[in-house]
Amino acid sequence: MSTNHGSKPQVFVGLDYHQHQVQVCVLDAAGKVLMNQTAPNEWRAITQVADRCGGVQRAAIEACCGAADLAEQLVEYAGWSVQLAHAGYVARLKRSPDKTDFGDARPPGVAGGLNARGLSAGGVAGVVVGA
């Protein structure tokens, strides 16, 4: 289960959801991008990608059709803490004309509101799944 960090560093994950694939951006506690890559749209594949960088402390995913189901799977099966981020907040965090999956997942997109406290006060606004 991903919440058992052991000696692994704590990491934070931004997810840009699509029907067949998910862009996975992993940040360290300082906000440095450790990895930003595509994974199949399947909770096991996403956790395998993220867990290579450390123990997942919290994740955020832009709320869209299908994202809530994936978020629930990550909470239930992987033990992640996941927040659904309103698309309007993600767009404002990003403030960039770069509309790509790579850009949407990394700071200042979905992952932009994540930090060592989990979520910054002005960061990702949304609903915590499984709370």
Q: Where are the chain's structural domains?
A: 10-116
Per-residue model confidence as pLDDT tens digits over 31-86: 888 999 999 999 999 999 999 999 998 898 888 888 999 999 999 999 999 988 87
Q: What is the pLDDT of residue 29?
A: 83
Q: Which tokens go with 54?
A: 């450390």
79 closest CA partner among 106, 105, 53, 51: 51
Q: What is the pLDDT of residue 8?
A: 86
Q: Write down the CATH superfamily of domain 10-116.
A: ATPase, nucleotide binding domain (3.30.420.40)
Distance CA 91, CA 69 (A): 22
Per-residue model confidence as pLDDT tens digits over 13-29: 988 888 999 989 898 88
Task: Give residue 124's pLDDT band: very low, low, confident or very high (50, 70, 90).
Answer: very low
Contacting residues for 35 by C-beta, under 8 A, at least 6 apart: 24, 25, 26, 49, 52, 53
57 closest CA partner among 120, 127, 123, 2: 2
